[in-house]
Amino acid sequence: MELRHLTTLHAIVRHGTFRRAAQALNYSQSAVTAHVKQLERDLDVALFTRRGKRVAITEAGRVLAEQGGWLLERASLLRQLMSNLAAGDAGHVRLGAIEPVASLRLPSLIARFCRSRPRVGLTLEIGGTATIGRRVASGDLDLGICSAPPARLGLAFEPLFVELLVLLVPRRHPLARRPRLGPADLAACRLLLSDEACAYRAVVEQALGARGTNPYSGIEIGSLDGLVATVREGLGVAILPAASVTPQPADTVVRRLSAPELALTVGLATREALDGTSRLLAAFANLLRAELKRSSAAQRTVPRRGAS
């Protein structure tokens, strides 16, 4: 049973005769008759009764026309959906991102993308680089915005911007009055750390550990906002992405660390090169590239002295 044969049957019922159906479909009348006979052979039922030149639809014909109309409607919707998918105007994007990219850089970008493609769905998962990398590698996520994932996952990684890390100290902390700070200045401080899986913490531990400073203080907070709030309460200092402390939180001072300047490269993690992927993912990846590079450029200027 072919959809075009159901289309012919539906046209006969709608227009009343074989001749009018043929005219509506731009077929010959013999082609319309052939379509009906093929349906009857395929289904082993009589769709019309013929008495001389008069033709009447049977009960089986009425049921098939009714149910076939539903199938034709669904087929039309399916064709449109496939066309939208091919054009990149429909589908679902599954994105994973680390903080503060997810909260500070992505919302306006996602809103613009989804407004321009109302048939597109999007899921944003927030986590650390290790988790995002594993979920991209397993196919649970299409794209990841994170630091470079472990090489063993076999993912492609395209750097997009560098996230500068800065020191956040309480306004009344002794370091708040120091114009220049280095890793050695943190030796006597309680350093508040993000959770162990956080890529920013890995940068901090590597940089300070290489200079003989153990950054572990016994206090770990799994939220960047939580770290900022705890610094404001005066419990200690924290090394955070500059974007997460711009504008400068109340009752704190932001300082850059010299020698070395701490930073984390953030980019796009995918299972394969995006050149061969769907138009939807390619369009979204292009928007990520343009917007994240632009927005990060606006965040690069962080004062070396905060207000006191």
Choose among 104, 217, 218, 120: nearest CA to 163: 104
Contact 299, 242 (CB under 8 A): yes
d(CA 66, CA 61): 9
pLDDT tens string 4-54: 888 888 888 888 888 888 999 899 989 988 988 888 888 888 888 887 667
Strands (E), 79-236: 91-97, 120-126, 143-146, 156-170, 191-192
In this prediction, residues 152-172 reach a mean pLDDT of: 94
251: left (phi over 0), alpha (psi -120 to 50) or beta: left
Most confident of 33-37, 59-63, 109-113: 109-113
Is residue 301 over pLDDT 80? Answer: no
pLDDT of residue 3: 84
pLDDT attached to residue 225: 93
pLDDT of residue 272: 75
Query: Can you give the pLDDT at residue 308?
Result: 33
Q: What is the mean pLDDT of residues 171-196?
A: 89
- Residue-range domains of the chain with CATH: 3-87 (1.10.10.10), 91-159+265-298 (3.40.190.10), 163-263 (3.40.190.290)
Residue 228 has pLDDT above 70, yes or no: yes
Q: How many CB atoms lie within 10 A of CB 125?
A: 15
> Cα-flanking dihedrals φ and ψ of residue 248, to 5°?
-60, 125
Q: Is the pLDDT of residue 304 over 80?
A: no
What stretches of 147-262 adopt beta strand conformation (E)?
A: 156-170, 191-192, 237-241, 252-255
Q: Count the neighbouring beta carbons within 10 Å of the beta carbon of residue 152.
A: 8
What integer pLDDT is reported at residue 230 of this predicted model?
96
Q: Is the pLDDT of residue 190 over 50?
A: yes
What pTM does this model have?
0.71
Chain position carrying tokens 């915005």: 145
Residue with tokens 């200690």: 236
Whether 278 and 199 have beta carbons less than 8 Å apart is answered as no
* pLDDT computed for residue 302 by the predictor: 41
Give residue-wise pLDDT tens across range 259-270. Answer: 677 999 999 999
List Cα–Cα distances, 217 to 126, 186, 235, 299, in angstroms.
Answer: 26, 11, 11, 29
